Amino acid sequence: MSMLHKFHGGVHPPTHKEQSTRTAIATLPIPAKLVIPFHQHVGNIAKPLVQVGDYVLKGQLIGMPEDGISSAIHASTSGTISEIGMQVVAHASGLPDLCATLLPDGKDEWIPKTGMDFRSAAAADVRQVLRLAGVVGLGGAVFPSDLKLRAGKHKVKTLVLNGAECEPYITCDDMLMRERADEIIKGAEIMRWALEAEQVLVGIEDNKPQAIAAMEQAALASTDDIKVVAVPTLYPGGGAKQLIRVLTGIEVAAGVRSTEKGVQCFNVATAQAIYRAVQFGEPLVSRIVTITGNVREPQNLEVLIGTTVQDVVDYAGSLPDTDGYIMGGPMMGLPLPGATVSIVKAANCIIASSPKIFPAPPPAMPCIRCTRCAEVCPAELQPQDLYWFAKSKEFGKAQEFSLFDCIECGACSYVCPSHIPLVQYYRFAKSEIWSRESEKNSADAARDRFEFREYRIEREKQEKAEKLAAKEKAAAEAKLAAAKLAEAQAATSVTPPPMTEAQAKIQAAIEQAKLQAAAVKPKNTEQLTPQQLAEIAEIEARRAHIHELASTDTEPPNGHDKNQ
Amino acid sequence: MLSALLVMSGIAIVLGAVLGFAAIKFRVEGNPLVEKIDAILPQTQCGQCNYPGCKPYATAIAAGEADINRCPPGGEEGIQKLADLLGVEFKPFGGETNAPKPKSVAFIDENTCIGCTLCIQACPVDAITGAAKQMHTIISQECTGCELCLAPCPVDCISMELIEENISNWKWKYPVYALKVAK
């Protein structure tokens, strides 16, 4: 057995895991109503494919993954879509997001499912299947799994399966490993194949002996090199970087992805979801949720995505002094805005809180710089300094002190003798920095657009001026050319130019026309009175006179006028 | 004595040549202070500072012609940043400058729009699409909320809509909690 390594710091909070591991995983009956958010994953919100009134089957695609980082959303059971609109979701803000409300018909009828033999398929096809099956990281990070299964430019040597489940109260992975170890191992085989990894390490904290035994048993049946390793129980040993450190000794530095070091890490429940999606064509429509804390029967339930927290709590038996619900564990979990929000893919645990279980924290006192937080920080940061910078809103300094390496595990707040809510400060500073960055980016974009517009207006003006100048120049040139031509003609027209062939033809045509005109006899020239004859004679004489004048007094016309 | 003079003047000539060459070779184009000020300004291009854009205002500040409290979209934080950069006193909004408003984007009522293109010509960041006698619409991601399109619209179909807090732009709030009172 390979030697285990250690990560810095860590704490030992009471685990409270035994309450919810007494009974096997039960399946929650189909509730009366499901509220399925379209944004349950990291990245872009899925695009709704259904309309109000549509009848959907279990596993039917209702949200199409958008470009880039995104994942699919499915109907969790068969029924009718009764509403698509904004509803409060499980988010720290308590703000509404786009959800589909599904009224189940109770038949729980699946869409036609088709599994695939991954070994004879292309890895890209398997990834596409996972994308459309909506498989995301079920440890709580909900990052689309297909994107993590890409063998990029760095060769992944080791695949780490995370079964550590270090947070108090949560036991969903523990129960899953106990009961469905073979499915997890088969999922691990698919992942190892897609990543072309050499070995698989399954890290499980040593407070779960039954899960370790079940996983070891299942791993024996596999032809792959899958090793189940018991790791010491120490919070936050289930953090991806911490588990990688413990299992392989590899330190994943700030801003570096673990794949660059040849390691990729997945949660065990994700492995099982990948197996169901690839082998049976079953999209992710349910997950195991631990319901614990202030309930009558703490346990693990297989819950359809979209079930309201209220339904889950009612099944476990709610108790009267419950004053709120936490999604996740007590260290990193987020208080829910109410019991009406629904179970999403990230919801591994629901803790009903009561003043008895989580008494109100004692009032905070000033930081005395005891550095106990620095001693327990698994990311080897200086939490007391980060607190100082975040408090005084010196975000640049906070970034210099590697604020973004903070995994928000809460170990610092846990040991703080002054009970300062340190993680809240770090979250505030992080989101402030992100929003400033995005503001700066949009300001830069606005500047570029403004400058381009100025440039375009200037260019158009210039083009117009150039066109006008070109036109004026052309007109002036034409005038000059005409003047020159006329001058040249005036110089040569002293003697009439010899008749060309064309001019001769024109002359001939004119003569013929004259003859024709002479040949036509006026019709009304008969029986004229002597008076009329006299008038005609007079007119004829005048005409003859004009003709005479025209042919003798004036010079023969020399072509055309100068200005013509 | 002469050789010393020659050596000294020789050094002076060589160094002078080096400095002269460096002055040409490493010449800084434009005023770097203008760029720094421009980076702080919010790039709304709204003209509320009475300059035809953020860059002209930055140039005016750098030249000492304009006050640092003329940019309402930048808010008091913007004034503070400018004061820090320029080493001058913070100056609150006041006088002829408008008070800062919450961020908003323009919205065109497409039923009323007559397609006159006047707003398109007014938009400083090309955030309005449309053509003559065709409906216009705002590209809301590009809109800086400068309100320059409101005045030219002959049918008053453009309104400003506040950007409301939603899941994607929500921020963690500054922690507020009870402190222990000393007895």
pLDDT in tens, A259-314: 888 999 999 999 999 999 999 999 999 999 999 999 999 999 999 999 999 999 99
- The CA distance from B171 to the nearest CA of chain A, in Å, is 6
CB contact under 8 A, B167 and A91: yes
As a whole number of angstroms, the distance between CA A396 and CA A388 comes to 12
Q: Contact A151/A194 with Cβ under 8 angstroms? A: yes
Q: Summarize the confidence of residues A87-94 as an average pLDDT.
A: 91
- pLDDT score for B29: 76
Contacts of A432 in chain B (CB under 8 A): 171-172
Whether A208 contacts chain B with CB within 8 A: no
In a domain, A378, yes or no: yes
Residue A368 has pLDDT above 90, yes or no: yes
In a domain, B54, yes or no: yes
Whether A379 contacts chain B with CB within 8 A: no
Secondary structure (3-state) at B88:
coil
In a domain, A417, yes or no: yes
* A310 plus A453 within the same structural domain: no
Contacts of B42 in chain A (CB under 8 A): 439, 443
- pLDDT score for A557: 47
As a whole number of angstroms, the distance between CA B103 and CA B144 comes to 8
* A171 plus A316 within the same structural domain: yes
CATH of the domain at B82: 1.10.15.40
Q: Summarize the confidence of residues A480-509 as an average pLDDT.
A: 79
- pLDDT score for A12: 94
Phi, psi at A511, each rounded to 5°: -60, -45
- The CA distance from B8 to the nearest CA of chain A, in Å, is 49
In a domain, B115, yes or no: yes
* A392 plus A341 within the same structural domain: no
* A260 plus A332 within the same structural domain: yes
Q: Which of B43, B167, B179 sits opposite A450 (nearest CB)?
A: B43
Contacts of A424 in chain B (CB under 8 A): 172, 175
Buried b (16+ CB within 10 A) or exposed e, A237-265: bbbbbbbbbbbbebebeeeeebbebebbb
* B155 plus B107 within the same structural domain: yes
- Interfacial residues of B (vs A; Cβ cutoff 8 Å): 38, 41-45, 53-55, 124-127, 141-142, 144, 165-167, 169-175, 177-181
Contacts of B169 in chain A (CB under 8 A): 435
Tokens (6 digits) for A82: 């009764």
pLDDT tens digits, B95-154: 777 778 888 999 999 899 999 999 999 999 999 999 999 989 999 889 999 899 999 999
What is the enclosing helix (H) or strand (E) of A61? Answer: strand A61-64
CB contact under 8 A, B172 and A428: yes
In a domain, A3, yes or no: no
Secondary structure (3-state) at B128:
strand
pLDDT bin (cut points 50, 70, 90) of residue A562 is very low
- pLDDT score for A502: 80
pTM of the model: 0.80
As a whole number of angstroms, the distance between CA A39 and CA A73 comes to 8
Contacts of A449 in chain B (CB under 8 A): 125-127, 142
Residue of B nearest to A438 (CA): B169
Distances (CA, A) of A207 to A123, A211, A335, A528, B111: 36, 9, 27, 143, 66
Contacts of A431 in chain B (CB under 8 A): 170-172
Within 8 A by CB and 6+ apart from A529, the residues are none
In a domain, B145, yes or no: yes
- The CA distance from A430 to the nearest CA of chain B, in Å, is 8
* A427 plus A401 within the same structural domain: yes
In a domain, B107, yes or no: yes
As a whole number of angstroms, the distance between CA B107 and CA A79 comes to 38
Range of the domain at A141: 18-29+126-353
Whether A421 contacts chain B with CB within 8 A: yes
pLDDT tens digits, A120-134: 999 899 999 999 999
Range of the domain at B148: 101-163
* B115 plus B159 within the same structural domain: yes
Mean pLDDT rounded to a whole number for chain A: 90
Pairing outcome for strands A286-293 and A263-267? unpaired
Dihedral of CA atoms A230, A236, A242, A246 in degrees, nearest 10, equals -30
* A459 plus A380 within the same structural domain: yes
Last residue within a domain, chosen from A309, A324, A353: A353
CB contact under 8 A, A363 and B172: no
- pLDDT score for A90: 92
Q: Contact A27/A43 with Cβ under 8 angstroms? A: no
- pLDDT score for A494: 56
* A336 plus A441 within the same structural domain: no
Whether A445 contacts chain B with CB within 8 A: yes
CB contact under 8 A, B144 and A446: yes
* A164 plus A290 within the same structural domain: yes
* A440 plus A299 within the same structural domain: no
In a domain, B45, yes or no: yes
CB contact under 8 A, B125 and A449: yes
Last residue within a domain, chosen from A439, A463, A487: A463
* B76 plus B120 within the same structural domain: no
* A216 plus A252 within the same structural domain: yes
Q: Summarize the confidence of residues A384-402 as an average pLDDT.
A: 93
In a domain, B5, yes or no: no
CATH of the domain at B130: 3.30.70.20
Q: Which of A95, A425, A432 sits opposite B166 (nearest CB)?
A: A95
DSSP letter string, A483-546: HHHHHHHHHHTTSPPPP-HHHHHHHHHHHHHHHHHHHSPPGGGSS--HHHHHHHHHHHHHHHHH
As a whole number of angstroms, the distance between CA A118 and CA A186 comes to 11
Residue of A nearest to B45 (CA): A450
In a domain, B12, yes or no: no
Last residue within a domain, chosen from B61, B86, B111: B86
Task: Respond yes or no on whether the N-terminal peptide bond of residue A236 is cis (omega within 30° of 0).
Answer: yes
* A201 plus A327 within the same structural domain: yes
Whether A396 contacts chain B with CB within 8 A: no
- pLDDT score for B179: 73
CB contact under 8 A, B169 and A435: yes
- pLDDT score for A431: 94
In a domain, A140, yes or no: yes
* Predicted-complex ipTM score: 0.82
Residue of B nearest to A449 (CA): B125
Q: Contact A90/A344 with Cβ under 8 angstroms? A: yes
Residues present in chain B in total? 183
- pLDDT score for B100: 83
Q: Contact A178/A283 with Cβ under 8 angstroms? A: no
- The CA distance from A423 to the nearest CA of chain B, in Å, is 10
Residue A354 has pLDDT above 90, yes or no: yes
In a domain, A373, yes or no: yes
DSSP letter string, A422-437: HHHHHHHHHHHHHHHH
In a domain, A103, yes or no: no
In a domain, B2, yes or no: no
Contacts of A428 in chain B (CB under 8 A): 171-175
Q: Summarize the confidence of residues A198-207 as an average pLDDT.
A: 94
Phi, psi at A398, each rounded to 5°: -60, -40
Tokens (6 digits) for A452: 């381009």
* B64 plus B108 within the same structural domain: no
Q: Contact A136/A41 with Cβ under 8 angstroms? A: yes
CB contact under 8 A, A449 and B178: no
Residue B166 has pLDDT above 90, yes or no: no
- Total domains in chain A come to 2
* A370 plus A443 within the same structural domain: yes
DSSP letter string, A473-495: HHHHHHHHHHHHHHHHHHHHTTS
- pLDDT score for A398: 93
Q: Where are the beta strands (DSSP E) in A112-221?
A: 158-162, 199-205
- Total domains in chain B come to 2
As a whole number of angstroms, the distance between CA A167 and CA A17 comes to 9
> What is the strand order of the sheet A47-48 is part of?
A47-48, A61-64, A73-74
In a domain, A212, yes or no: yes
Contacts of B30 in chain A (CB under 8 A): none
In a domain, A222, yes or no: yes
Last residue within a domain, chosen from A433, A463, A493: A463
For chains A and B, what is the number of CB pairs under 8 angstroms? 81
Contacts of A97 in chain B (CB under 8 A): 166-167
- pLDDT score for A505: 86
Nearest to A305 by CA among A289, A319, A290, A326: A289
Phi, psi at A556, each rounded to 5°: -60, 135
Q: Which of A92, A427, A447 sits opposite B43 (nearest CB)?
A: A447
Residue A564 has pLDDT above 50, yes or no: no
Q: Which of B45, B170, B179 sits opposite A450 (nearest CB)?
A: B45
